[in-house]
Structures are given as structure tokens and as C-alpha cells.
Structure 1
Amino acid sequence: MMGGGVEATIMNHYRFLDHEQVQFDFIAQNDSDNIPADIISKVGGRVYTVPSYKNLPDYINACEKLFKEIQPDIVHSNMNALSVFPLRAAKQAGIPIRIAHSHSTDNPNEFVKTAAKTLLRPFSKIYPTHLVACGELSAEWLFGKAAVRDGKVHYIRNAVDLQRFVFDEAQRKALRDSIGVTEDQFVVGQIGRFSAQKNQTFSVDILQRLIRMIPNAVLVFLGIGDTMDAVKEKVTKLGLERHVRFMGLRQDANSWYSAFDALLFPSLYEGLPLTVIEAQAAGLPIVASNHVTDEAFISKPLITTVELDSSPEIWARALANILSNAHNRTVGDYTTILRQAGYEIRDSARDMQQWYQQIAS
């Protein structure tokens, strides 16, 4: 658990469950750096840690031992292709209901990761009793088109508390003031863990071109992760420190969508990104790569897609066009269409709870 989108989706649902009816215990790797143990324990959940899957024999043994000890009714794995390992341990421990949940896809440029995923995908349906995905693309990637076509995949949307993301002028001013940005500056945000997948190094290249068009532009990063130091080094090397803010892992990420003028999302691959849903609830224009599934684009007028392999200049121009179009975020109800599409967390948590009770009965 590193404060990414998958963890946020799980915790969003967890907060809105009736904990008298359905309770979660969390099993996280011991190299996690953002386990919200206080939130979990407050409503009766427990947190267990196991060795990292990078030490696979120890990881599998620890999972099997833990499943035998706590004997859950359901084991729900959110590890994409890696779910084969905890679900095998769950089967060995005699757990009757085992759920594999696909949240993502892959990218050929990540050679090692993609090779591992390719090897594991054929085993994705051996150990689970139920298949779950956040969207059709993620479902097809892990479980195959036949499973989707035959209705064997249950969908749990990456839902959010939509009202928390509605545009707020006061929050906008306070946050922009806190980072020394005036109202007339163009602020681009990127929210997500620092990783090759999220492509933050390319975002810095885009910024370098953008400030030629909009000299007062600023790029704000929210998140932590493996590639953050490399991104910081690149910012320094290019002399862009004045134009970049690294805000780390924030508990008030919902408010930052009001502070931004655009969201930059140049991901190499995605399942169905939570950040894109949240931004649409705030009425925030989005410039995203064409490798983000179209399923995530609910409010089409807010979306600009750019070919992933396009030059930084083209990406920068797409961002600059948002400023020239003078998007007015105080006009329009952006939450209704998202609620109708299944992205209101209260509805989604209720549906998930009923599904758990149904399959466990």
C-alpha cells in the first residue's frame, strides 16, 4: 500500500460498507509505506503484514499460514496478474470463495513487468472462484475476451464520494496561495504514484515546452514513489525548479482538483484510473494519453486525448488550448452523469456489499 489508486478504491468502498454486515481484514506487504491502519481499526478491521512478493516463497507461505489462522469467508485479491499467488495460498488454506480483481493492463515498454504478467496471465482463472474488474478493458486483459463475453466477470467501479470533488473557489485560492501561485498563472496537476507507468519524466519534458507558450505555467505533482528522485533530478537539470512543485502524498488530494487548471495524464497504460474520475467530478479539463481506456471518459467535453508517442510539443499545445478555451468550471453539474454511470461510492459500496453476501450465502 503506497497511497495509489487501487488502495484508494478499496478504502473508498471500505468506508461506506455496513461493518455489521461485511468486515475487511487487510493483508499488505511489509514494504508498504502508507497503510491507513487507524482508519481500518476504527471500524473494526485488522491489518496483517506479510513479506513482499519479491520474496515469493516467504510471501506464499505467510499468506497460507495467515489464511488458516484467521479463516476468512472470502479472500479478495487486488494484485492483478500477481493474484495467482495469494489465491493459490487461499485455496491451499481451504478458503471457499476466492476473488481475483483486475485493476490494470500492461505496456510493452516495461519489458520485465510485461514479461512477468504475460507468464502469469494464463493462470489467472485457475485459483479464483469469482472474477472482478474495474472495467471491460482490464477484464479482457487479465481474464480474456471469452470470460467477458460469457458474463463471467463482475464489475466494481472505481467509485468516489462525488461531492468531495465538486469545484470549490475558496479551496482553489487557499491552495494556490500555499504554493505561491497567483490566479493568473496556469497550473497543471498530475496526481499518482511516481512510477514508470505514470510517466512523470515525460511530464517534465511537456512542461519545458509548455512554458515557451505560457511562461508562468506551473506543474504540481501529488504522490510518492520509486521514480520521484529521478524526476526531481530531471527538473533540476533542466532548470525548471521555479515551475514545479512536489507536494508528496496528500490527504487533501480532493481539494487540489479545484486548484488546478488542467490535469495531465500521460500514462503508459491504465485499467480505469480513479484520478480521471475524480477530476471529472471537479469539472477539471484532462489531457490524457490514448492508452487510457475510453471507459474512463464519462464527461466527454472535459477530455482531450493525445497519442502517447506524440512529441512533448504536441502535448504542451493540447494543454495550452485549455487555457485559450477559457473553460468555466462553475457552470454545469458534473456529478450527475458520473452517478448515472455508476461512480457514486454509496451506490457502489451498497452493490458490492450485496454481492459479497450473495456469493457467500
Structure 2
Amino acid sequence: MAKKPIRVLHVIADFKKGGIQAEVMYPARILSKEDVLFDVMLLSDTIGYYEDEFKKYGNIYRIPLKKKKTKIGRFLSIFTNYVYVQREMNHFLREHPNYDAVHARHIILNAPCILAAKKAGIPVRIAHCAVDRPKGKFKDRQYVTWYLAYCAGVLRRNATHCFGVTKSAVEYLCGEGNGSVMKNPTIALDKFNPEIYKNITSDNRIHLIMVGSYGERKNQRFAVDILKELSISHPDTTLTFIGYSRTPSDPYLPNLKEYVKVLGLKDKVRFLPQDADIPAEMAKATILLIPSLQEGLPNVALEAQAMGLPCFVSDAVSDECNCGICSFFPLSIGAKGWADRIIEYVETNGYGKHFVDMSEWDNCKICQEYLEYWRGKPLRL
């Protein structure tokens, strides 16, 4: 006998093109064929990249957060948004009571969503965290630390499942010794498949690639500095950026382009949009750069390794992303230190691909595991 269809409500910040959003889209694409009904609640009024596609699978609802311009307003919004989102979710779930699971993926506002789901009698209530605890200059302010500690207690009492993409992310979400690491369904191995691109051969030049949103945390400027150093001994080196600005007014990308121009590297750098053919670009590349100052578990590292593309990664990133061909380096050794290690790597290993088994990250397999949890499978400890 076929299992009864279930209805799942995802809660995320917005529908821009990013890792968390992809974690909603892959299950929708794969599991909607199995009588799973998906809806999404966006905590934003911004129209996002995936919205038109998601409408094929389910409904989009919104609780737009109020934007605060002043410093004191942003401080107070940490607390006022908690009350506002819980109130709006209470109201929404009274009008839409037939969900089998609520899956919340917003570290700051998971708690009020889970509380509302419990009040509404939703049987499966999942809180999920995709980021590690911030460090260094990105470390949480003390009042945020206190707030998240309170939220962790709320989640421990009211969520049926607490997941994180890494051990650090789980602890950031619900405290030490609680919750479970859960892989994200973000690699389509039928798409990130080296066999499709087997006719692309190495031209014995260093082609660097970096994929992700533009910003200080991702540290694209450091990648340009690496290119500058490599160009001294390997003048044919190139660098490809694929990504997007988080807001139209964000100055990081225009400043980055100007920096490339000032260093005389304009002819060596490409800026491609977020909808570029990422697997094809990875097939042409020699090394993926992830010099992030702060990161969770970068999906792009998994995608790159599925394509056999070695990754050079900042040691600020969790080593849980390493499936065999990631190398980790401190940013403190500088761009020249990274460039020297890239040269050493290609001289030792060549410019070609180095394939590893990524089957445990197959999104179809992981989506089936998600489905079991949405149907009520207890949290593994």
C-alpha cells in the first residue's frame, strides 16, 4: 500500500541562489514525485532566484522582517523579530494546520518558528543550522550569544529534531551534546559528473575558480592577490569568479573589479553570473579556491570534489568538507604562501583531475533520509 502523502513547510530567510536555498530545492525536485507536498515560508519580501521554479512544487508564503536603519533599531530587532515571527507563524498555522512537518533553517529565528509549530500540533519540528559558530572578527556580540543560548534551550525543549551541517553547527544551534550532524542534499551527481566533460583536457596552465556570493567573508580579494603572485612565475594563470552580490547596493563586487584593474589583471579574470554552467567551468579549472574568513560546510567544495577538482581551503573552514582532495592552509601565510603551495601541488600532481568517491553525498540518497525524518523517524544520537 502506498504511503500517505505528507505536507512539509520549509522556513528560510529568502529564495536567493545559495546553499540553504538549494537544500530546499533539491528535495522539492526529487520528492515531489513521491507525493510530498512542499510549501515555503520566506522571512523576506525580496523576490528570489528560485521562486518561479518552486511554484511548480508548492506555495510561497512570506513574513517579511522589518528593516531597521539605526544601530539601536538593529539591536532591538533581534528580540522584536522573535516576538513578531512567533505571532505571525501562530496566525499562519491556525489558518494552515495540515502540515506534517515544519523544517526551519534560520539560525536566529528557528526558535519562534518551532514554538509556533508545537503550539499548532505539528508532529515533526526540525531546526537546522548551516553555519558554524562565528570566530575572530565575525564572532557574535555578547547579546547575540545570550539570545542564541536562550533559543538553544527553546529548541531542545520543543524541536523533535535538531540538525547541523557540521558538529560545530549543531552545537551553535542547540548546545554541546545535543542534536545530530545531517548531510545536505546539494550535489546532483548526474550533473556534477566528470564523465559528461571527459573530452575537456588540461592545457597545462593554472586555472583558478571561486564560486559563491561576493563579500568580505568569502574573501575574493585574497584570491586576486593569489593570482597576482602566481602571475610572476606562471603568467598564463587565470581566475574565474562565479557569484552574485547579496544586495544591489553592496560595494564589494564593484570594488573587487576595480582592484583587479588596478593590479593590471583584467585580462586574466572573468566574472560570471550565478546562473553560469558551474560543472562545465569546474571541468576547465585546475584548483577551486575557498579562502573564506568564516564558513559552515561549503557545498561548492563537495561539488568540486565530485568533479575531481582539488580544493585549496582556508583553515577557518570545517575539515568535514574534505572528501579526499581538499588542502587546508591558514590565511596568515599570505597570498604568496598560497601561491607557492599551488605551484608545488601542480608540479607534484599535475594539472588534471583527481577523482574520489562522492556517492555518500548523492542528493537522491540524502533526500530519502530527509523524507524518513519528515515522516517521523526519531533523531539519531
Both proteins in one fold, TM over 0.5: yes
* Cα distance change of structure 1 residues 63 and 316 upon mapping to structure 2, 3 Å threshold: farther
Corresponding position of 1:178: none
- 2:237 corresponds to which of 206, 213, 217: 217
What SS does the corresponding residue of 1:164 show, helix, strand or coil?
coil
Q: Does structure 1 retain, via aligned residues, the 8 Å contact 2:205–2:351?
A: no
1:50 partner letter: I
Q: Does structure 2 retain, via aligned residues, the 8 Å contact 1:287–1:318?
A: no
1:139 aligns with 2:139: no
Give TM-score scaled by structure 2 length: 0.79
**Alpha-carbon shift at residue 268 of structure 1 (Å):** 1.6
Q: Does structure 1 retain, via aligned residues, the 8 Å contact 2:207–2:285?
A: yes
1:28 aligns with 2:42: yes
Please give the alpha-carbon distance, in whole angstroms, between the structure 2 residues aligned to 1:68 and 1:315: 55
Please give the alpha-carbon distance, in whole angstroms, between the structure 1 residues aligned to 2:254 and 2:41: 28
Corresponding position of 2:152: 124
1:193 aligns with 2:213: yes
Corresponding position of 1:307: 330
* Cα distance change of structure 1 residues 154 and 107 upon mapping to structure 2, 3 Å threshold: closer
Corresponding position of 2:9: none
Greater mean alpha carbon deviation, residues 200-209 or residues 29-38: 29-38
Please give the alpha-carbon distance, in whole angstroms, between the structure 2 residues aligned to 1:114 and 1:219: 35
Please give the alpha-carbon distance, in whole angstroms, between the structure 1 residues aligned to 2:45 and 2:281: 28
Corresponding position of 1:177: none
Please give the alpha-carbon distance, in whole angstroms, between the structure 1 residues aligned to 2:111 and 2:92: 17
* Cα distance change of structure 1 residues 316 and 64 upon mapping to structure 2, 3 Å threshold: farther
Corresponding position of 1:205: 225
**Alpha-carbon shift at residue 306 of structure 1 (Å):** 0.6
Greater mean alpha carbon deviation, residues 220-229 or residues 76-85: 76-85
- What pairs up with 1:1-361 in 2 under 5 angstroms? 1-30=15-44, 32-42=46-56, 44-52=57-65, 54=67, 56=77, 57=80, 60=85, 61-71=87-97, 72-91=99-118, 95-111=122-138, 115=142, 117-122=144-149, 123-127=151-155, 128-129=158-159, 130-147=161-178, 152-153=179-180, 155-167=182-194, 168-169=196-197, 172=200, 183-225=203-245, 226=250, 227-299=252-324, 302-327=325-350, 329=352, 332=355, 334=356, 337-339=357-359, 342-359=360-377
**Alpha-carbon shift at residue 238 of structure 1 (Å):** 2.4
Q: Which runs of 5+ in 2 are unaligned?
A: 1-14, 69-76
Over residues 245-288 of structure 1, what are the superposed CA-to-partner deviations in whole Å (9 max), with x where a residue is unaligned?
11021252222211211100011222221111111110001100
Q: Which runs of 5+ in 1 are unaligned?
A: 174-181
Please give the alpha-carbon distance, in whole angstroms, between the structure 2 residues aligned to 1:327 and 1:67: 57
Please give the alpha-carbon distance, in whole angstroms, between the structure 1 residues aligned to 2:162 and 2:66: 21
Please give the alpha-carbon distance, in whole angstroms, between the structure 1 residues aligned to 2:342 and 2:197: 21
What SS does the corresponding residue of 2:213 show, helix, strand or coil?
coil
**Alpha-carbon shift at residue 184 of structure 1 (Å):** 4.8
Q: Does structure 1 retain, via aligned residues, the 8 Å contact 2:104–2:114?
A: yes
Please give the alpha-carbon distance, in whole angstroms, between the structure 1 residues aligned to 2:114 and 2:137: 25
What SS does the corresponding residue of 1:316 show, helix, strand or coil?
helix
* Cα distance change of structure 1 residues 35 and 318 upon mapping to structure 2, 3 Å threshold: same
Give TM-score scaled by structure 1 length: 0.83
Q: Does structure 2 retain, via aligned residues, the 8 Å contact 1:67–1:93?
A: yes
Q: Does structure 2 retain, via aligned residues, the 8 Å contact 1:209–1:312?
A: yes
Greater mean alpha carbon deviation, residues 98-107 or residues 318-327: 318-327
* Cα distance change of structure 1 residues 140 and 331 upon mapping to structure 2, 3 Å threshold: closer
**Alpha-carbon shift at residue 186 of structure 1 (Å):** 2.1
Q: Does structure 2 retain, via aligned residues, the 8 Å contact 1:221–1:247?
A: yes
What SS does the corresponding residue of 1:358 show, helix, strand or coil?
coil
* Cα distance change of structure 1 residues 355 and 76 upon mapping to structure 2, 3 Å threshold: same
RMSD over aligned Cα atoms:
2.8
What SS does the corresponding residue of 1:245 show, helix, strand or coil?
strand
2:39 partner letter: D
**Alpha-carbon shift at residue 145 of structure 1 (Å):** 2.4
Please give the alpha-carbon distance, in whole angstroms, between the structure 2 residues aligned to 1:49 and 1:171: 46
Greater mean alpha carbon deviation, residues 303-312 or residues 162-171: 162-171
Q: Does structure 2 retain, via aligned residues, the 8 Å contact 1:29–1:52?
A: yes
Corresponding position of 2:7: none
What SS does the corresponding residue of 1:165 show, helix, strand or coil?
coil
2:366 partner letter: S
